[in-house]
Structure 1
């Protein structure tokens, strides 16, 4: 069998396994990655994500991570939400959870699919493989562009003409020498919808992200208290932020999610802030068992919920926040004090404005 025929069979098998799209590239296909990563780190845009710098030598070059690799299969798996996440931002009594985190943990679901596909490839060819999904020092987005799946938009996320931008990425490194696909070029044009909608102005320029101002970073990766300047801008977003994804016009081509595990659980679609803020550690673990939310822990999650309560403008939520004034975690106690102060003062800067032009007709 020729390498071209094997590549076609491999991509067809990937779709059979449930992946939305697949493409191939060489391990040396992202020569610009070291410079871009170095500039990102030098600007301190990574915030507290020190692991980006600590493993940058692997991240910059897939050949350093596994020298035996000859080809990389990049795979996209759609998780397109059934509703526009921007509609949740007006409902201040609930918490807005990023669409990707409302169901089962994608790490588990994507990796199982990758392993099934990898076992098939090994059985057919006897090659060696390694599979990766988000937890290893692999630059999935540049590799996805090199493999033709899409391009990194002005919001720095990968999006595709036939995918939109609601999809996860996985990678299979293999010792097989397979023909690469043409890389995708950028198709954002003059559009800047994703830049303009960002509540915290986290994009200092198109194609550049300052994670220190990104709500996804602040609610998930950032330890300790969030700067008071940024808290009002977080609105009711308690885990992640979908604004720049949801506003993208290319979502009119988004593929429907095939994996039912990504469908939002009832308790995570429109969770009441009053219920979430009352969670202790055991309750948090029970509610978010099997969810990616579980990894940030109860304290950071309740911190986020308290910021949302402070932004709600609903004085009835003060009673739910008050018991947290004596929380053993000082960051949670600080968030409770801030929330109660905002509700009591009812100052305009304590109620975050909803992102402008929700773009419900564009997502």
Structure 2
């Protein structure tokens, strides 16, 4: 077995569902990325624009890079449950441990194993936080194609995929890139988006995306988008839920141990009642820490306004006294929305 095949075999043994190799070249999608930034579709994610040119080539992260090993883990859950009243939904990737930590640990262990195969091998693991266009290299490594919702879709695993990459200083045999898109005339993902975040197939306007609104946006969410957010309190999976390619793949067994079903459906009223210390203890080591408590409370208030349960009014009224103006405004909006729905004055 040659070195490239052995490395991919080790990746699968480490708990990844997919592994492929791409050459360390300029990212195919870099010009599209710059055009996307120029149109302001990244919203307030200033870090993307600040490091714009760094996204052109993986050498900006690891100057000695010659090959990119791209890995993926299927995180599709085993079952779907409809949330109960006053419960909010969390994007499936966030229902448990922080994937950054888990994938980094796996990549570091994998790198140690690769080093033992041949003297002089060095590398760096990348999980979502370095300026690497991971999906571009995943496609080039043969892992899948870009859906019209911009997600990477693998014909066997679907699109519920967590991507990681190892930048290596050795020449490896690249896999054939995935050239064919298998979406055909399907536009299910585009039609299902409640905030119309896709101006055209394959282009996401993050400023309208529920994931961006609930996670990355630090200020108030524009009222025009709030009804479309439904009961999502962190992230969104709608464009993946409706994708036909996600019907047949089996649940992600390699991710099962890191899932916490209790984190995928959150009691919105309980969220409003958490003290700062309780919130920190519960969410500090999870993806939900990113928007901090003020962001999660903002989202919870909007979700309660959309679910329209008048039983939440006392807690929303209490939230109107929160020290954060962001939370107070969202709570009052939710109260007004519930009162309007039930004509409670």
Class of the TM-score when normalised by the shorter of the 2 chains:
over 0.9
- 1:116 is matched with 109
State the secondary structure of the residue aligned to 2:323: coil
Quote the offset at 1:208 in angstroms: 0.2
Q: Deviations over 1:38-60 (max 9, x none)?
A: 11101110000011111111112
Aligned to 1:305: 300
The 8 Å contact of residues 74 and 172 in structure 1, kept in 2 or not, is answered as yes
8 Å Cα contact 1:165/1:254 also seen in 2:
no
Whether the 8 Å contact between 1:29 and 1:143 is mirrored in structure 2 is: no
Rounded to whole Å, the distance in 1 between the matches of 2:265 and 2:220 is: 25
Partner of 1:150: 144
Question: Aligned runs of 1:239-278 on 2, under 5 Å?
Answer: 239-257=234-252, 258-266=254-262, 268-278=263-273
Contact persistence 2:26–2:56 (CA under 8 A): no
Deviation at 1:290, TM superposition (A): 2.2
**Alignment match of 1:68 (pick from 64, 71, 78):** 64
Q: 1:262–1:199: structure 2 CA closer, same or farther, 3 Å change rule?
A: farther
Report the equivalent of 1:6.
Answer: 3
* CA shift digits 1:88-114 (9 cap, x unpaired): 4xx442110111111111111111110
Identify if the C-alpha distance between structure 1 residues 166 and 190 changes in structure 2 by more than 3 Å, giving closer, same or farther.
same
Query: Which residues of 2 match residues 94-243 of structure 1 at below 5 A?
Result: 94-126=87-119, 127-185=121-179, 186-243=181-238
Counterpart residue number, 1:356: none
Mapped partners of 2:75, 2:188: distance in 1: 21
Give TM-score scaled by structure 1 length.
0.90
**Distance (Å, rounded) in 2 between the aligned partners of 1:195 and 1:57:** 30
Distance 2:214 2:291 in 1: 9
Q: Which deviates more from structure 2 when the two are superposed, residues 305-314 or residues 289-298?
A: 289-298
1:22-101 aligned at under 5 Å gives the runs 22-28=19-25, 30=27, 32-84=28-80, 87-88=82-83, 91-101=84-94
CA contact (8 A) 1:104 1:262 kept: yes
Q: CA deviation digits over 1:145-166, x for unaligned, max 9?
A: 0100011110011111111011
SS in 1 for 2:266: coil
Aligned partner of residue 284 in structure 1, secondary structure: helix
State TM-score, norm by structure 2: 0.95
* Separation in 2, partners of 1:163, 1:253: 8
Distance 1:100 1:253, change over 3 A: same
Listed as ranges, the gaps of 5+ residues in structure 1 are 349-363
After alignment, is 283-292 or 109-118 more displaced? 283-292
Give distance in 2, aligned partners of 1:255 and 1:49: 34
Is the 1:103–1:262 Cα contact (8 Å) retained in structure 2? Answer: yes
1:67 Cα deviation from its structure 2 partner: 2.8
Tell me, in whole angstroms, the C-alpha distance in 1 between the residues paired with 2:248 and 2:122. 35
